[in-house]
């Protein structure tokens, strides 16, 4: 048994102070961290409980929405402003886990969850994310669920979150505080691609704590959705997922679009090339297909996941078609 201390933070400043202890980790709902502790992948010496901090979901004067990092996933998915103004987020949360897990999991914890790669969980396997320098056995192993975009020779793991994919498509802003003060960054900047150090998963500095996520006022977000393709419907992780928002003008051209993919990369993948290809063009199936192909042109499938390229292409086209009213 590994000894560790536990403290419940009274406020953000106290949490940051407690996190300065050697081997300290922030604890939200524990739906990922506790599992990793059981597997001895994570071995914190101190846990700082932050579940009592910042759980409010508040409408902003500019039309946006501020969600405290300690908000439970169930509360977010059920919130009226989320369901009506950002439906992709509600749908992503509902697709992500069982009701019991949603009741426990927090927004901040969801952003910080780690990969579900089987090699990461297997201490007999080489995994640079778990043990830098150990190699990546997934590259030449069974890699059906692994990345097709943004991977490196050091790691081909994918990010597991559904919620983060929706947030990436909705231009979400992450607010953090730490020993050096407060700052904010785009959700798409929070997570890193693997490069040579896949064990460093975010751009957060030591002791920094996610305090809230802001959804900006975005008119087309009300016409957004999330689709998750998985091996089974009972809360499996995504093979491919798509979060999208689409604005189509009366003349049938695309005024604006947001698109993000899950299950394809080490981080939620904002499909910028597809968005650029779509804006100003016709809302037709052929345009959607051309945009999907533009985004996937650099896809590098492995020995067992080549199907993901076509699956991603078809899912992008289907989701955009649904939002456009099944365009011709």
Let me know: does 11 contact 3? Beta carbons within 8 Å. no
CA dist., res. 179 & res. 45, Å (int): 20
Q: Which of 51, 70, 87 is the last residue of a domain?
A: 51
Which residues face 176 on adjacent strands? Answer: 183, 210
Residue 295 lies in a domain: yes
Distances (CA, A) of 140 to 136, 146, 188: 8, 11, 29
Residue 264 lies in a domain: yes
Dig out the tokens for 202 from the structure. Answer: 């975010």
Which residues face 174 on adjacent strands? Answer: 185, 213
Residue 146 lies in a domain: no
Residue 121 lies in a domain: no
Residue 144 lies in a domain: no
Q: What is the model's pLDDT at position 326?
A: 59
The CATH number of whichever domain residue 45 belongs to comes to 3.30.43.10
Query: What range does the domain containing 280 cover?
Result: 225-323
Q: What is the model's pLDDT at position 22?
A: 92
Q: Which of 35, 51, 67 is the last residue of a domain?
A: 51
Residue 248 lies in a domain: yes
The CATH number of whichever domain residue 290 belongs to comes to 3.30.390.50
Structurally, the chain folds into a number of domains equal to 2
Residue 211 lies in a domain: no
Tens of pLDDT, residue by residue, the chain (328 residues):
678 999 999 999 999 999 999 999 999 999 999 999 999 999 999 999 999 999 999 999 999 999 999 999 999 999 999 999 999 999 999 999 888 999 999 999 999 999 999 999 999 999 999 999 999 999 999 999 999 999 999 999 999 999 999 999 999 999 999 999 999 999 999 999 999 999 999 999 999 999 999 999 999 999 999 999 999 887 789 999 999 999 999 999 999 999 999 999 999 999 999 999 999 999 999 999 999 999 999 999 999 999 999 999 999 999 999 999 854 4
Residue 96 lies in a domain: no
Rounded to the nearest 5°, which phi and psi values hold at 54? 50, 70
């Amino acid at each position: 048994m590994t000894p560790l201390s536990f403290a419940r933070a009274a406020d953000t400043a106290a949490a940051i102070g407690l996190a300065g202890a050697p081997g300290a980790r922030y604890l939200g709902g524990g739906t990922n961290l506790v599992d990793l502790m059981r597997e001895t992948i994570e071995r914190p010496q101190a846990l700082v409980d932050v579940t009592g901090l910042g759980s409010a979901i508040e409408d902003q004067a500019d039309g946006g929405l501020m969600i405290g990092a300690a908000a439970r996933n169930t509360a977010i998915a059920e919130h009226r402003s989320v369901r009506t103004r950002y439906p992709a987020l509600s749908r992503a949360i509902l697709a992500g886990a069982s009701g019991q897990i949603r009741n426990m999991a927090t927004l901040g914890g969801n952003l910080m969850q780690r990969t579900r790669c089987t090699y990461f969980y297997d201490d007999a396997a080489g995994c640079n994310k778990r043990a830098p320098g150990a190699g990546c056995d997934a590259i030449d192993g069974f890699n059906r669920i692994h990345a097709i975009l943004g991977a490196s020779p050091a790691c081909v793991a994918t990010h597991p979150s559904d919620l983060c994919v929706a947030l990436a498509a909705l231009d979400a802003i992450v607010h953090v505080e730490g020993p050096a003060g407060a700052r904010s960054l785009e959700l798409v900047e929070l997570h890193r691609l693997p490069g040579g150090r896949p064990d460093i998963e975010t751009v957060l500095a030591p002791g920094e704590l996610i305090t809230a996520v802001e959804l900006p006022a975005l008119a087309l977000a009300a016409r957004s959705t999330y689709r998750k393709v998985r091996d089974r419907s009972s809360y499996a992780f995504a093979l491919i997922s798509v979060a999208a928002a689409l604005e189509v003008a009366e003349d049938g051209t695309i005024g604006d679009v947001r698109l993000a993919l899950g299950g394809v990369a080490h981080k939620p993948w904002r499909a910028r090339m597809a968005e650029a290809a779509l804006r100003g063009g016709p809302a037709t199936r052929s345009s959607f297909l051309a945009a999907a192909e533009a985004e996937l042109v650099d896809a590098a499938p492995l020995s067992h996941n080549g199907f993901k390229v076509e699956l991603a292409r078809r899912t992008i086209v289907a989701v955009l078609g649904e939002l456009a009213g099944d365009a011709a």
